[in-house]
């Protein structure tokens, strides 16, 4: 959520930002908020004036009663009573207007960075840099589900019987390899100075609407029937939610945390659930990183965070590239975002494995995450980035380490987590 002062002082800038995100249907909201805010402030001013007058008259009542001027005191009491009724009426109007303004403000997208490429969708995202040499071996690399089945590592048929489409059983060395990658990613981030955390896997609706837009929530989140609880789509949600309505001590900043969780997603949209493989599924595991920092530090942290993703995947011998997300591909709370994509030698193209985002103070405003200075409380900046999503990282590792005889080489950094095993043989 942006600062309403932006609409008060420069609503054309807010409108231009909406146009850059190709959300013209939201343009009328800016003028609506502007007019509602004027009305809100008028009512608030009138209410403050009424309260000041009431307090002044209330003081007079006490003085008149002490002077035994009861008749005059009763007249003023009647006047004070009318003022109370008026204040109650104004208070009700103020609450209604405040709620209406907030509801509309929650839909207005965050102001994007000046250097974000302008484009309608992810086809307009811009490649910035490549890391590692993408290779295509002379032999054919099978589809990842076929690789997993060849090592007795995947059973989607059984998952279909127990849970339906979009679920899977990982077994044997494949399951162990997935866990090894997550453990390695955890230790990788701990070594970077991040505090490890296992957060709640369900969160309340006020946290959900604080961390993401309503549109994202409907497309992603599973709601628990009969309870005010949602299954998390990523542990970033409960990690950032941990600091809801908190005033954080400045000496505690920056807060840098890395978390493990299962993730649950509806995956509603054009892409759909993958029938055979595990690229787009309803459930997976993830290691995440979040940062809460001073506003002037968020640009520096953004650069650090996506580079951690590159370093991690390169340590697994997986070539990657950084892709700058265009304006139309940015979720409403994002100021700037980039994807890290892994090389697929089978498809001979890159696919997304990490997403790093700087949300400036938009998320903190929705959740009330602040720090205190000599000049008063102010909103902090929040950032998040995928360390490693189990299914997509596993696909990238399988394809880039697949051998002609059907075996899979295990990168050296993962071997200690695999009991020293160097290779997974085809069965």
Q: Which residues contact 37 (CB under 8 A, 6 or more apart)?
A: 4, 7, 8, 101
- Whether the Cβ atoms of residue 251 and residue 406 lie closer than 8 Å to each other: no
- What is the Cα–Cα distance from 337 to 356, expressed in whole angstroms? 6
Question: Which of 209, 194, 244 has the alpha carbon at shortest distance from 380?
Answer: 244
Q: % helix / strand / coil in the chain, to the nearest 5?
A: 50, 20, 30
pLDDT by residue, tens only, the chain of 427 residues: 899 999 999 999 999 999 999 999 999 999 999 999 999 999 999 888 888 877 777 767 666 766 777 777 777 777 777 778 888 888 899 999 999 999 999 999 999 999 999 999 999 999 999 999 999 999 999 999 999 999 999 999 999 999 999 999 999 999 999 999 999 999 999 999 999 999 999 999 999 989 887 777 777 889 999 999 999 999 999 999 999 999 999 999 999 999 999 999 987 655 666 678 999 999 999 999 999 999 999 999 999 999 999 999 999 999 999 999 999 999 999 999 999 999 999 999 999 999 999 999 999 999 999 999 888 999 999 999 999 999 999 999 999 999 999 999 999 999 999 999 999 998 7
pLDDT of residue 88: 86
pLDDT score, position 427: 72
**Residue 179 neighbours by CB under 8 Å, 6+ apart:** 417
- Please provide residue 340's backbone torsions phi and psi, each rounded to the nearest 5 degrees: -105, 125
Euclidean distance between CA atoms 319 and 336, whole angstroms:
23
What is residue 269's predicted lDDT score, i.e. its pLDDT? 58
Token pair of 196 as six digits: 């490890």
| Burial class of 294 by CB neighbour count within 10 A (0 to 12, 13 to 18, 19+) | middle
CB 39 within 8 A of CB 97: yes
Positive or negative torsion for Cα 254, 255, 260, 265? negative
Cβ burial 88-120 (10 Å sphere, 16+ → b, else e): eebeebbeebeeebeebbbbbbbbbbeebeebe
pLDDT value for 72: 75
d(CA 22, CA 116): 14
Cβ count within 10 A of residue 149: 17
Please choose, from the candidates 333, 386, 99, 122, the residue with its C-alpha nearest in 3D space to the C-alpha of residue 208. 333
pLDDT confidence of residue 426: 84
Going from the N-terminus, what domains does the chain have, and what CATH number goes with each?
Answer: 4-105 (1.10.287.40), 122-424 (3.30.930.10)
- Do residues 316 and 397 make contact, with C-beta atoms less than 8 angstroms apart? yes
Map tokens 């059984």 to a residue.
Answer: 158
Q: How far apart are CA 64 and CA 41, in angstroms?
A: 35
The DSSP element (H or E) to which 203 belongs, if any, is strand 202-203
**321: its two tokens:** 């590239």
State how far the alpha carbon of 214 is from the alpha carbons of 150, 285, 313, in Å: 42, 24, 32
> What is the DSSP annotation of 79-116?
HHHHHHHHHHHHHHHHHHHHHHHHHHHTTSPPPPPTTS
């Amino acid at each position: 959520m942006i600062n309403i002062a932006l609409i008060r002082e420069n609503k054309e800038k807010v409108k231009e930002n909406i146009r850059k995100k190709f959300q013209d249907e939201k343009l009328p909201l800016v003028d609506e908020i502007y007019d509602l805010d004027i009305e809100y402030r008028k009512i608030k001013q009138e209410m403050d004036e009424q309260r000041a007058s009431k307090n002044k008259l209330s003081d007079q009542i006490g003085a008149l009663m002490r002077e035994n001027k009861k008749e005059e005191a009763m007249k003023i009491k009647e006047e004070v009573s009318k003022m109370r009724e008026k204040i109650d009426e104004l208070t009700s109007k103020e609450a209604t207007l405040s709620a209406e303004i907030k509801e509309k403000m929650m839909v207005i997208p965050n102001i994007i960075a000046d250097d974000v490429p302008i484009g309608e969708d992810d086809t307009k995202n811009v490649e910035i840099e490549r890391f590692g040499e993408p290779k295509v071996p002379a032999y054919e690399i099978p589809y990842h589900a076929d690789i997993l089945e060849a090592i007795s590592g995947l059973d989607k048929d059984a998952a279909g019987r127990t849970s339906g489409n979009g679920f899977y059983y990982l077994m044997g060395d494949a399951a162990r390899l997935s866990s090894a990658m997550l453990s390695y990613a955890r230790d990788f981030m701990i070594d970077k100075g991040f505090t490890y955390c296992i957060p709640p896997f369900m969160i309340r609706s006020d946290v959900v609407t604080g961390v993401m837009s309503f549109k994202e929530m409907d497309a992603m989140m599973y709601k628990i029937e009969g309870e005010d609880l949602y299954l998390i789509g990523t542990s970033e949600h409960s990690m950032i939610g941990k600091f809801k309505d908190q005033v954080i001590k400045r000496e505690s900043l920056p807060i840098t945390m890395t978390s493990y969780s299962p993730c649950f997603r509806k995956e509603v949209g054009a892409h759909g659930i993958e029938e055979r493989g595990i690229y787009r599924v309803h459930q997976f595991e993830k290691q995440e990183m979040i940062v809460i920092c001073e506003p002037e530090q968020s640009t520096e942290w953004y650069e650090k965070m996506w580079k951690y993703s590159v370093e991690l995947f390169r340590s697994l011998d997986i070539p990657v590239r950084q892709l700058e997300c265009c304006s139309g591909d940015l979720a409403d709370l994002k100021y700037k975002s980039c994807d890290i994509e892994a090389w697929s030698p089978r498809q001979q193209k890159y696919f997304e494995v990490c997403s790093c985002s700087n949300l400036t103070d938009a998320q903190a405003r929705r959740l009330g995450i602040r720090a205190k200075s000599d000049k008063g409380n102010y909103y902090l900046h929040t950032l998040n980035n995928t360390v490693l999503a189990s299914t997509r990282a596993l696909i990238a590792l399988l394809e880039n380490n697949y051998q002609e005889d059907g075996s899979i080489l295990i990168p050296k950094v993962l071997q200690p987590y695999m009991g020293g095993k160097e290779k997974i043989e085809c069965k």
